[in-house]
Structure 1
């Protein structure tokens, strides 16, 4: 197919073409023996399983049961109900994911021994001398009400808790940010976080304390004498435990830029690039009644979207939409770089062991003190 010869019939065939490049099998996303592995710092790596079953708790009748992610997806569409009382998701007290009572992070003594994870676009997270007002322009300061108001706002920003969670939650958070916060072209970093052995953990766990933009005031969840608070994460790795903490609770971090360089599937990249080679990248105007609401796309962008969606179809259902969005072709993005980036994102989920190996080779950066190796 040469440039300029892309027509309606070709568009109809793109889905089946994408399926040839990405077979329809769902990958098993588990590192089976990770629960007993330790890093050079002595921290314990827990089992990574994006597809694991979740625990549900009905707020109306108190029934507890296990479900898979497909069940949760159907429940969110009101096609499933509580087996105890028949309540669906539309009700205020409807069932929600809850903490697994067998989660090892419920053991206070183990919290500081585990590796925790975070993704960020900041290359030096957690920043030592964080100044949230540093990049504000003079016009922005005036619009905010002057220097006093800016100082108050900055103090509020510095009072926020940091967040760390499971590997699954960190990757999910990155996909959500690319999808929701227009950080499509940003470079992300994955951090492995080691806590100070002396941290004081708040008793029990909290229901996700984040406000509507995901912020938590540290002093509200970690009162004096407490360094770390566990909370049930509803949004990323739902049902998993994440931590709210201050910078002083962190001993050491290791970081890698993600997706990893040269961590893509070479066969998939070659097939995708070959498929895109003769597809025109000229944006076609949208016609009809929806033209005001639909952003014009080129045939190349359409095929990239369908190739990305086919890859997404191999992932757990709660990651599919955000992965497909993250895999969209950016404006003027080179097809080779797009294919490598998309495959690299997929490998973060499909092959976590490779990422952990890269972190093992990463240099320790001291944040608040040394990690004491455990026997």
Structure 2
């Protein structure tokens, strides 16, 4: 079962100092992070040690244990075979790197810890935001991403209640720490993507099947994309200017007029998007002078579609092949 997709839905805040709870928008959270807002109950700001934080919506369907395996969950990855049956994290390590890590025995222990990590799935909004965040923070620009729709096994055992986001500073979670023996799935409050939404930490065995589409979707160049490509194409060709550094003249190349025009268009589009996605979107949609204006405009249109027209993306998933995930 799919839930309505809304990147801009209201969020619930809870003050750790006075216990006051209230509803806010993403714009409010943006101002809060800049110390421009305070708790309506006690006046504390984000600088306080026990500052208010976003919390779970009491009406979230995922709070009902029996509903968890009936809901569709989502994940984005650069792998076209996620979740992989087996992985060897040490396969690409060079002899020098292995030596720096302390030798083969320590490498083997490190690899085992990597294999023990939990998988993550969440709302559609969280999965799309995760892709933009990875492009921005983990230098995954240029990589092909895939959106997965995940169905859980109907007999999974769900850990009672929910956890505060258990991820470490790089987003990793040890599966055994959140899913002890007899537990297949643990819910946790997502602070970073779709703030306030519930995501799941789970093992591969909890997944029954997946559907996959490559994103952004490949669509025909039409409407906005055609006009945008024409605007960029019409920009003047790049020029070089001279600059003096010390006593020696050096050539300094400014960003191309095409790049500058695309940058202005990107800024206008980003300002219309949910506040928590704008910065990551900016990086993901950066203009590449090696691409044609039409290619860039088509990609930009596809990236915006992921946020503004999720129904079209979900329809593509409806048509995608269902892949069983064997235990």
Contact preservation (8 Å) 2:17, 2:50: yes
Which residue of 2 is the match for residue 279 of structure 1? 235
Local SS of the residue matching 1:48: coil
- Structure 2 Cα separation of the partners of residues 173 and 55 of structure 1: 21
Contact preservation (8 Å) 1:263, 1:347: no
- Structure 1 Cα separation of the partners of residues 165 and 237 of structure 2: 44
Contact preservation (8 Å) 1:286, 1:296: no
Tell which has more relative contact order, 1 or 2 (C-alpha 8 A, sep 6+): 1
Contact preservation (8 Å) 1:305, 1:327: no
Contact preservation (8 Å) 1:176, 1:322: yes
Distance of aligned partners of 1:283 and 1:157 in 2 relative to their CA distance in 1, 3 Å threshold: farther
Q: Is residue 183 of structure 1 aligned with residue 113 of structure 2?
A: no
Q: CA deviation at 1:144?
A: 2.0
Aligned counterparts, 1:13-92, within 5 A: 44-92=1-49
Residues paired across the two proteins, number:
321
Q: CA deviation at 1:100?
A: 0.6
Distance of aligned partners of 1:87 and 1:281 in 2 relative to their CA distance in 1, 3 Å threshold: farther
| Aligned with residue 226 of structure 2, among 254, 259, 270 | 270
Q: CA deviation at 1:93?
A: 0.9
Local SS of the residue matching 1:318: coil
Which residue of 2 is the match for residue 112 of structure 1? 69
Aligned counterparts, 1:1-375, within 5 A: 44-262=1-219, 266-280=222-236, 282=238, 297-368=255-326
Which residue of 1 is the match for residue 249 of structure 2? none
Q: CA deviation at 1:252?
A: 0.1
Contact preservation (8 Å) 2:209, 2:325: yes
C-alpha RMSD of matched pairs (Å): 2.0
Q: CA deviation at 1:368?
A: 3.1
- Structure 2 Cα separation of the partners of residues 168 and 288 of structure 1: 49
Q: CA deviation at 1:117?
A: 0.1
Local SS of the residue matching 1:65: strand
Distance of aligned partners of 1:288 and 1:208 in 2 relative to their CA distance in 1, 3 Å threshold: farther
- Structure 1 Cα separation of the partners of residues 241 and 66 of structure 2: 60
Q: CA deviation at 1:307?
A: 1.0
- Structure 2 Cα separation of the partners of residues 98 and 255 of structure 1: 30
- Structure 1 Cα separation of the partners of residues 43 and 138 of structure 2: 36
State the 4+ residue runs in structure 1 displaced beyond 4 angstroms. Answer: 283-289
Contact preservation (8 Å) 1:230, 1:244: yes
Q: CA deviation at 1:142?
A: 2.4
Q: TM-score, normalised by structure 1?
A: 0.82
Structure 1 unaligned residues grouped into runs of 5+: 1-43, 290-294, 370-375
Q: CA deviation at 1:171?
A: 0.3
Local SS of the residue matching 1:173: helix
Q: CA deviation at 1:332?
A: 1.5
- Structure 2 Cα separation of the partners of residues 241 and 305 of structure 1: 34
Contact preservation (8 Å) 2:157, 2:185: yes
Q: CA deviation at 1:314?
A: 1.5
